[in-house]
Structure 1
Amino acid sequence: MKKCLLLITLILANIGSAQDTIKQSEVIVVEQPEVEKNQFKNSLGDLKINLDQSGEKNIKVGLSSQIWLRYLENNPGTAVNNVPQNHTYDAGLRRMRIILNAQLTNAYSIYMQFGINNQSFISGGGSGTGANGAGKKPQLFFMDAYNELAIIPRINSSTKKANKNHFYLGAGLHSWSGISRMTNASTTKMLTADLPVFNFPNIEITDQFSRQFGVFGHGEYNKFNYRVAINKPFATNRQPGVGEIVDNNQSGKLSFAGYGMYQFFDQENTATSFLAGTYLGSKKVFNLGAGIYSTKDATLAQTEPGVFESHDNLMYGIDAFFDMTIGAKSKEMALSVYSVFYRYDFGPNYLRTNGIMNPGTKDPNFTGETAVEGFGNAKYLLGTGNLWYTQAGFVLPKFSNKVKLQPFATYSLKDLEGLRDIAHFYDFGANLYILSQNAKVAYQYSSRPLFNGDTKEVLTRRGEHILTLQIAL
C-alpha cells in the first residue's frame, strides 16, 4: 500500500517542482473538525500526502467499497442464466472507488475519481463465457476528472483565515449538477442502503454515471450555497417506433444546470460536489434548495409513420434537508429528514425503466401475465410527470461507545403521464455504524409496483432485500 501511495504521489506531483517536493512529502491522517469529534470518537479523517512543509500543496486519497448481498423477488416470467427463477440470491460490487484530489496551489486543484460499479455474477464485465464472462473483469473508468481554479478561495492566502464568501471555476467530467441536493448526493454518506436513482434524471443516457463534460462554477455567499454548469451531454441517437418517444440528442445542444440552497444553521463542507444524506447529528443543518436542468431537442417521438418530432427536456426540483440532534445530549439521538419534489418533462408520455444489477431476462416458456417493465428487478424509474421522494432516519439512544443504530424509511410517489395509476414505492431498513460513516452495515427492503402493459395499471408488487457492507475513507 505504501508503494502504491508513493507511486501516485510521483505521478501527480510531476507538475512543477516534483522532485523537490516529493523529498519533503509525508503521509498524515487529518483529524475530523472539532464539531464532529464528540459525535464520532472513532471516525477517521482524510489520508493526506503533503507536498511542501506548510501542507498547502497536498494530495488527498480516498477509498470506498460497497458490497451488496441480495435476495430478489423477480418480476413474473423471469429467467436467470436461462433458468426460470421466481427468487434470486446474489452478491456484487455496487461501488468500488479510488479518489485523488491534488491541491497544487491555494488556487488550483485537480480532482479524479475512478473505479467500477454494478458488477455481479452475471453482469458488469465482459461478453461471452469462461474467462471473459458477462460478470467478469469489468473495466475501470473515470467518474470525475476535472480541473478547478479558485477565483475567491475558501482560505485567504495572505491572512490564512476563512473567507466569508468564495467562488470556484472548473472544467472537465464533473458532477456539479442541478435539480436537487440528491442529484448531488454522496454515495458514502447515504441515509439509505442505496439512492433512489431517479434523482439522476439522465443516468447513463446523456451522462456517464451522472456526470457530463462541461464548465461549472460553485461557491457561497454568506449562507447561500450555489452551483451552475454548462455541459455537452453524451450523444444518444435512439430511433422511436410509431407512438414512441426515446432519447435522441443528435442535434447536439448544450445543457444548463443549477442548484442553490440556503443554509439556516451550520454551513456544510462543499469542497467537492457531494452532499451528505445524514450527519448523524454531528451538525445542526436545515437547508432549503431548488434547482433546474434544461436542454433542447433531447428526445425524439414518431407521432405517425414517417413523422418525427423533437422535444426539449426541462426538469426542476424543490427540496428541504434537516439533520440535528434531539433530546438529551448524553443520549446522542439525531433525526435526519429529506424531502424533494421533481417535475420532469422529457416530452409526451416518456417513460424509462431500470433494474440495478438486474440478473433477469425473459423466460420464453412462461405463459402467465408479465409486467410491462420487463424481468428481474426492473421497475419504472422515471418519466414525464411529477415525482416526490421523502426519507427519514433516527439515531437510537446511545447504547455503545463504538456503534450507532439508525432505522430509516422512505416513500416515493411517481405520477407519470404514461401510466394510468400512481406508482408508490417503499423502502425501510437500518444502518449499523461501526466506525462512524467510515464503516457501516445497512439492511434495506424495497417494495415496487409492476404495471400491466395494456391498461398501464398496477398489476402486482415485488420486493428486494439488500444487505450492504460499506468501507469508506
Structure 2
Amino acid sequence: MNRKQLLAALMLGIGAVGASKAQTNDFGNPKLVHFLNKEHTRFISFSGYAELWARYSQLNPGSLVNNEEVGSVSDLSLRRIRAKMTYKPTEHLYFVLQMGPTNVNVNSKTNTYMDLLDAYAEYSFSPKIAFGAGRSTWRGLSRFTTGPQATLLYDLPLYATSNTGVTDMVVREMSAYIKGQLGRFDYRLVLADPYTASMSDPQLNKATFSKNEAQKDVSGYFRYAFFDKESNETPFNAGTYLGKKKVLSLGAGFEYMHNALWHADATQAVHQDDMKSVAIDLFYDAPLNKEKGTSISAYGMAMHNDYGPNYLRFSGTNNPATGVAAANASLNGAGNALPTAGTGNTFYAQLGGTLPYFSEKNHNIQLQPAVSVQLANYEALKDNSAIYDAGVSLLFHGNSSRLTFDAQNRPIYTLNAANEGVVTDHKWAFVLKYRIDFN
C-alpha cells in the first residue's frame, strides 16, 4: 500500500467513525455504520451476534449419544452466530447479506459451515409500500414466525418456526414479498418457494409432507399499533423493548401451501392435503417507572393448524442426541425433542419485565424475570401438550449483552393399550445462555 492509499484508507476510517457519532449502540459506542452522504440516507453497516449455551438436559427415553444410551447430558454449544451487512446505496434501494452457523455442538464436528442465510434486495417506493426478493426470513403467520430478536426467554418457542428444516433452511426460503405501513397499520405478504420436503411415502390416515414438487408457500401478517409504532425495516419482531417503547400491537396472519402433504386411506388410495394455518396475537411492552427502569412485557397467541389427518411433528432445539434405541423410545424420539407442530390448536403466552436498576448511577445492569406456557391439543395425541418455561436474564447492556437462565419442562408421550398418545412422564432442561450483539 502506497502513501496515497494509506492516507485514503485512514480518511475513510475517520469519516466512518465521525459519521457514526450520531448513533450509538447499547454499549455507548458508535455504531458500525458508514454514511455515504451528508443527509445520512445512504449507508453501509455491519452487525451480528453470538449465542453461547451451557446446558444440562434430561433426555427422552432411549436417547443415544455416540451409540451409548444415556439419560442426561451436559454440554456447551453455539446456538447461533450471525454476521450481517446491510447496504443502502440510494434512498429507495436496500440490500441485506447475512451468514453464520446454527447449532454448533459436539455432533457438528465435520459439518460446521458459514452458511449463507440471507441475500435479498428491497426497493421502497414509500413507507406505504416496498417490494423485495431473494432468500430471507420474510414470512407471515405470527409475530415470531420469522425467528429471534431480543427474546424474552432463552429462545423462541418451537411452534413459531414449526416447519424449519422441513420446507425451509434455518427459517429461510426463496421468496418475494411486499410490505408497508399505512399509518398505524402494518402489513406484509409473502410468496415463497419452499424446499422439497422428501419425508416419507403416504401413511395410513396420517399426513406427512409429500415427496411431490413443492407448491408455493403463501403467507401474510397484519398488525395494528395502538401506541408507538414498530419498525418493519427487517422481518424480525422484538420480544421485548425493555420498556424503551410503549407498544400495544394486535396482529393476525395466515400461511397456506397447496398439496403440501399426503396420506393414504384404508383402500391405499392417496389423498393430497393442503397446509393451512391462521393465527392471532397480542403484544404489549411498556415502561412502569422510567427512573427505576422497570417495565412489563407480555405476549399472547392463538393458532390453528391444519396439515391433514393426524399430522404431528416432534423436534428438539440444538439436539444433543445422535439417535434413539427403538426398543426403549417414546413418541418424542431422540434427545430433547418435544411436540412442535401438528393438526390442531396451539396457545402460547409469556410474561416478564425488568426490575429496578442495580444502582441509580448505573443504568446498564438489571434483572428481567419471565415465564411462558405453550398449550396444544393435537389431533394425533389423546393428552394435551403443555410446555413450561421460567427464567431470568441479567442485562449488562440492554439486549446487546445479556445472560439468561431458563428452566423448561416438557411432556413425554408413549402409546397406551388403545394405541393413543398419552403423557407418561416429564423431562427438564436447564440452559444458561450468553448473547452479545455487535452493531
Query: What is the TM-score of this pair, normalised by structure 2?
Result: 0.91
Counterpart selection for 2:101 from 116, 135, 154: 116
Amino acid corresponding to residue 271 of structure 1 in structure 2: E
2:114 paired residue number? 140
1:376 paired residue number? 335
1:357 paired residue number? 318
3-state SS in 2 of match to 1:202: coil
- 1:195-234 matched pairs, under 5 angstroms: 195-234=156-195
Paired residues of 1:246 and 1:350 also in contact (CA < 8 A) = yes
Amino acid corresponding to residue 445 of structure 1 in structure 2: A
2:200 paired residue number? 239
3-state SS in 1 of match to 2:298: strand
d(CA) in 2 for partners of 1:97, 1:44: 20
Counterpart selection for 2:92 from 100, 107, 116: 107
Residue identity (%)? 29
**How many residues are aligned here?**
423
Deviation, structure 1 residue 201: 3.1
Any unmatched runs of 5+ in structure 1? 1-5, 7-18, 126-134, 155-165
Counterpart selection for 1:466 from 431, 434, 439: 431
3-state SS in 2 of match to 1:314: strand
2:374 paired residue number? 412
- 1:52-451 matched pairs, under 5 angstroms: 52-122=37-107, 125=108, 135-152=109-126, 154=127, 166-185=128-147, 187-240=148-201, 242-243=203-204, 244-248=206-210, 250-304=212-266, 306-326=268-288, 328-362=289-323, 364=325, 370-400=329-359, 401=362, 402-451=364-413
Amino acid corresponding to residue 463 of structure 1 in structure 2: W
d(CA) in 2 for partners of 1:197, 1:339: 15
Counterpart selection for 1:26 from 16, 21, 38: 16
Deviation, structure 1 residue 374: 1.0
1:452 paired residue number? 414
Amino acid corresponding to residue 117 of structure 2 in structure 1: M
Deviation, structure 1 residue 50: 2.5
Amino acid corresponding to residue 78 of structure 1 in structure 2: S
> Residues 198, 32 of structure 1: CA spacing in aligned structure 2 closer, same or farther, 3 A cutoff?
farther
Bigger drift between 55-64 and 260-269 goes to: 55-64
Q: Residue deviations 1:230-286, cap 9 Å, x none?
A: 111111233335323211162432121110110000011221111100001000000
RMSD after superposition: 2.4
Deviation, structure 1 residue 225: 0.7
Q: Residue deviations 1:321-375, cap 9 Å, x none?
A: 000011x4322210000011110111111001101122224564x96x5311112
Paired residues of 1:75 and 1:462 also in contact (CA < 8 A) = yes
Amino acid corresponding to residue 459 of structure 1 in structure 2: T
Q: Residue deviations 1:386-408, cap 9 Å, x none?
A: 00010111211222313010000
Paired residues of 1:230 and 1:256 also in contact (CA < 8 A) = yes
3-state SS in 1 of match to 2:138: coil
Amino acid corresponding to residue 194 of structure 2 in structure 1: P
Query: What is the TM-score of this pair, normalised by structure 1?
Result: 0.84
d(CA) in 2 for partners of 1:266, 1:249: 45
Amino acid corresponding to residue 351 of structure 2 in structure 1: A
Amino acid corresponding to residue 244 of structure 2 in structure 1: S
> Residues 45, 333 of structure 1: CA spacing in aligned structure 2 closer, same or farther, 3 A cutoff?
farther
d(CA) in 2 for partners of 1:303, 1:358: 34
1:11 paired residue number? none
> Residues 316, 31 of structure 1: CA spacing in aligned structure 2 closer, same or farther, 3 A cutoff?
farther
d(CA) in 1 for partners of 2:80, 2:425: 30
Paired residues of 1:64 and 1:188 also in contact (CA < 8 A) = no
Paired residues of 1:188 and 1:437 also in contact (CA < 8 A) = no
Deviation, structure 1 residue 307: 2.0
3-state SS in 2 of match to 1:358: coil
Any unmatched runs of 5+ in structure 2? none
d(CA) in 1 for partners of 2:324, 2:329: 10
3-state SS in 2 of match to 1:26: helix
Q: Residue deviations 1:285-319, cap 9 Å, x none?
A: 00101001111000011224642111001101100
1:128 paired residue number? none
> Residues 74, 24 of structure 1: CA spacing in aligned structure 2 closer, same or farther, 3 A cutoff?
closer
Counterpart selection for 1:46 from 7, 22, 31: 31
> Residues 46, 315 of structure 1: CA spacing in aligned structure 2 closer, same or farther, 3 A cutoff?
farther
Amino acid corresponding to residue 387 of structure 1 in structure 2: T
Paired residues of 2:201 and 2:211 also in contact (CA < 8 A) = no
Q: Residue deviations 1:35-84, cap 9 Å, x none?
A: xx9xx6x4556310233444332111002000011001011222211222
d(CA) in 2 for partners of 1:361, 1:111: 35
d(CA) in 2 for partners of 1:254, 1:389: 27
Amino acid corresponding to residue 400 of structure 2 in structure 1: N
Deviation, structure 1 residue 137: 5.0
